[in-house]
Amino acid sequence: MLADSHAHLDDLKYEGVVEEIIDNAKKNGVGLIVNPGCDEPTSIKAVALSQKYKMVYANVGFHPEFSQAYDKTIHDQMIRKWAQNEKVVGIGEIGLDYYYEDNPSRAVQKKVFEAQMGLASELGLPVVIHDREAHQDTLEMIRACMNRETGGSVHCYSGSVEMARQLLDMGLYIGVDGPITFKNAHKIPDVVAYVPLDHLLIETDSPYLTPEPFRGKRNEPANVQYVAAKIAEIRGISVEAVQEATWQNCCRFYNIIAV
């Protein structure tokens, strides 16, 4: 069975076709999907989808791109309320994104990232971290602010083997998605070969980052099978071994007992 540990079913690109997307995932061996929120509206929708579909779980939080909209007084209470729901299993997608300069400012992103890691610790939930061109600051903030008992993962990992080593030393999981299948993928194959199998998560980041052979089309959770296949090829093990290990990893990371 396959677990897609990071798919944005709440995205507008899926409007009107979520049922079809989930059915197709089931037909392709996917039994678990975790839908992260990126702001207040998408977190609300992620929770709603988790209530409608048994195989769907939710994360709630504010992506760095939307950190300017985060009001600690309002949203801490909102996240606490969402977290009372047993289908809410993590705080995310949170983190740092320096791809666009000052959009929002790095200071705002760091403040919101720190606040949400503190909230995750209070709630006893793992964090799902977005790191785009902010590797050093991300590492430093994880080291300073993340609760190692509840843990975390870095989704859509784009760092080096050395950074992965430091994250693993702090107990984090590494999320791998469509770019592992790209012909121009350079660093991530080495990372996949290095990271212990029991700390790898597979994901699609749907509807984005579509793997080969469908690159350029809308992504969906059914395509997580191609991520698993590429990891199996790199590691020289069976696809079934990757599927089983990453299923168990996803359930363990999110404390999901049964689906």
In 3D space, the residue among 1, 5, 15 whose CA is nearest the CA of residue 200 turns out to be 5
Q: Which pair of structure tokens corresponds to residue 56?
A: 């769907």
Q: Beta 56-60 vs 30-36: how paired, if at all?
A: parallel
**Residue ranges per domain, the chain?**
2-254
The mean pLDDT value for 139-166 works out to: 97
pLDDT tens-digit readout, 59-115: 999 999 999 999 999 999 999 999 999 999 999 999 999 998 878 999 999 999 999
What distance in Å separates the CA atoms of residue 126 and residue 112, rounded to the nearest whole number?
A: 16
Instruction: Find out whether 18 and 49 touch, Cβ atoms under 8 Å.
Output: yes
Q: What is the pLDDT of residue 206?
A: 98
Q: Which CATH architecture has domain 2-254?
A: Alpha-Beta Barrel (3.20)
The interaxial angle of helices 161-169 and 187-194, nearest 10 deg, is 40
Q: Name 241's Cβ contacts closer than 8 Å, sequence gap at least 6.
A: 197, 232
Q: What is the pLDDT of residue 257?
A: 87
pLDDT for 259 beyond 80:
no
pLDDT tens-digit readout, 3-38: 999 999 999 999 999 999 999 999 999 999 999 999
Q: What is the pLDDT of residue 101?
A: 84
How many degrees, rounded to 5, is the angle at CA 91 between CA 85 and CA 94? 150
pLDDT tens-digit readout, 195-240: 999 999 999 999 999 999 999 999 999 999 999 999 999 999 999 9
Answer whether 0.95 is exceeded by the pTM: yes
What distance in Å separates the CA atoms of residue 161 and residue 154, rounded to the nearest whole number?
A: 13
Average model confidence (pLDDT) for the chain?
97
What distance in Å separates the CA atoms of residue 167 and residue 143, rounded to the nearest whole number?
A: 9
